[in-house]
Every structure is written in C-alpha cells, then in structure tokens.
Copies of this chain bind each other. A is one copy, B any other.
Amino acid sequence: MKLTFHPLDLKLKHTFQIARETRTIQNNVIVLLQDNGEVIGLGEAAPTSYFGEDVNSVSSVLAQSADLLNQSDPFQVEDITNRLKNEFPKSAAARASIDIALHDIIGKKLKIPLYRLLGLNKPESKITSFTIGIDTPEKMGKKVEEAKDFPILKIKVGFKDDIEILRELRKMTTAVFRVDANTGWTPDEAIKKLNLMEDLGVELVEQPFPVGSIESLRQIRRHVKIPVFVDEDIKDSKDIPAFSDAVDGINIKLMKCGGIREALRMIYTARAHGLKIMIGCNIESSVSITAAAHLTSLVDYIDLDGHLLVTNDPYRGATVDKGKLTLPDGNGLGAGARSGVPLPSM
C-alpha cells in the first residue's frame, strides 16, 4: 500500500472554547492509502494538544509508517494497528487515520459498507448532540438560537458562571442538555452545580474533574443523580477497568483511542463492565466523523458534530438533519470528496 497525507485546515464557525483552551482553526491531516494501484482508502487525523499531538507529530508518524504499510496487506488490520501502537503509543490520532483508511480499503475491496464488514446492522438515524462552546452569555445564547433544530445540546461548562448561563439557556429551548466540564470542576463545585442542574434537564455530565480523580468521581455519584461520564480519563480499553465502579459511562473517540479497531475493544470492554457508551469526536471533517458513525448501533449516546462546527469541510459523508445523523450509501466509509472538489493527489 502506498501512503500519502495532506494537511487539512478546518476553519471553525465560532471560536471554540472549552474549560482549558480556545481555537479558531483545527489543523488536521488527511490520509490516502492506495492498495496495489487500485482502491484508495481515506483516513483522517484530528490531533489535539491535550493528548500531545499536532500536525507535525502526526506527519512524522505517518512518514515513519509508510514502509510498514508498503509491505502490508490491508486486511491484516489487527496486526498493523498493534504494531503501530507498539511503535507510536502516544500518537493515537495518527494511528486512527491509518486504521480508518485500512477499514475504508477493506470495505471497498469487498464492496460492502464498513458497518456490514463489522457485522452490524445499518445504523438507524440516531440523534447526535450539537456542541455549544464556552462564550459570553450573549454569544452562547446566540449559538443556542442557531442550534434550534437540534433536540440535544452538549453545553460546555466548567467555568465560574456556568450554572447561571445554563439557567438562561434553559429558558430559550426545550432541547435535552448534556454538560461537559472538560476537567474544570472541583468535587464540591460539581456536587452543588449538578444538584442544581437536575432541574434544568441535564441528561448527563462529562469529565467533571481532572484526569485521575477516581475517588472524587465515586464521591459525586453518591450525591448526584445525573449520570457521570469520563472522556479525558479513558484513552483506550486498558483504562476502563480502573474507572468501572466510579462512573456510569465513557466517551469513546477514534482520535483518542487509535481508530475503529480499538474503539470496538473499548465498546466490548465497557459492556463487560456494564458501562454506558457515548461516541464522540474532535473537530473533524466528514471523513473520520463518518467512520465513527458506522459504530453508532453499538452505543447509547452520540456526539458526532465535529464536521458541523467547520465552514470548509471538503468532504462529504454522514449527514445531519435536525440532529439526525444518517450514514451515506457506498462501500467502506462511504465518504469522499465533495462534488467539484478533487481528492488530494496520491
């Protein structure tokens, strides 16, 4: 297989702010993997500084992976992804881009969609949440107004006046709220705020505390009815057992775990522990969002809106209408270049 990769700079509709950072652009990498001069598989890396990756580190890993891929059969996903994980353990987004492209090639070669390759039903159109980043109260209100078609909103919290803003937003919409503190709270703050949020239609809370706060998670679950999920705490399947009695669920992201293969491992491990599962994303184009969308029949909560937050996605794939996420037709991922936009060169 021949590997090429190209930067993909995604422009954000709104400045993206969460508890720990602010951005106006997301620098991703698109991977093209060509099998024997025939089928081209698409992949994408959406690196985040939080997990120590960026376009440079992704490009470096991809360049170093070219030889292995050149000598490999795309069907040997387990072996290829394990070898890449051994070699580049901290480069999950880079590895995810290869894993996704491999799955795309296999589906295209077998002429079946990815979900079918994985033994899954065609995912029903399920509702994805839409993310409202942190901003001034006025701008957060404006964003909620713009998102009025979405039945579920994921509101970023984890700052001083979050509860007051949430109260104001509640007046504007009947949408279900999920809140994501992105490590921003203390235990006392979390208990107080989540108890207040019970009356504001909050369905679940994500990552209330800094990574590793297992005891604090156990503690708030004794005082709070809203289900507690972890995201930053759980990178891959090996991280799950330690949190299994401390949370209600986990957020799985292809970019955090290294791709579809590891996402399946996480799903099975989480289910063995009786945990609920959300599938989430970074800010991504339709390529990797669509890859994740093939797994939605296996999860409870969907947060695949990364491609909706950008203005210049050159790819098409899973579409969202009034929150309903629908897979494209087609083999493999079913994603591709938008009409009139050429694929980057091999």
Hey, which bits of chain A sit against chain B, CB under 8 A?
Answer: 75-79, 106, 110, 112, 116-121, 237-238, 240-241, 244, 261, 264-265, 268-269, 271-274, 297-298
Contacts and interface: CB of A to CB of B under 8 A. Distances in A.
Contacts of A238: 271-272, 274
Contacts of A110: 110, 112
A272 B269 contact: yes
Contacts of A298: 78
Contacts of A237: 268-269, 271-272
Number of copies: 2
A76 B265 contact: no
Best-surrounded residue of A75, A76, A78 (most CB of chain B within 10 A): A75
B265 A271 contact: yes
Contacts of A244: 241
Contacts of A117: 117
Nearest to A75: B116
B273 A79 contact: no
A78 B119 contact: yes
Contacts of A261: 119
Given A106-B119, A237-B269, 18 more contacts: A75-B116, A77-B119, A78-B119, A78-B298, A79-B297, A110-B112, A117-B117, A119-B261, A238-B272, A238-B274, A240-B272, A241-B241, A241-B272, A241-B273, A265-B271, A268-B269, A269-B269, A269-B272
A105 to B, nearest CB: 12
A76 B113 CA distance: 12
Contacts of A116: 75
Contacts of A297: 78-79
Contacts of A76: 119-121
A93 to B, nearest CB: 20
Contacts of A120: 76, 78-79
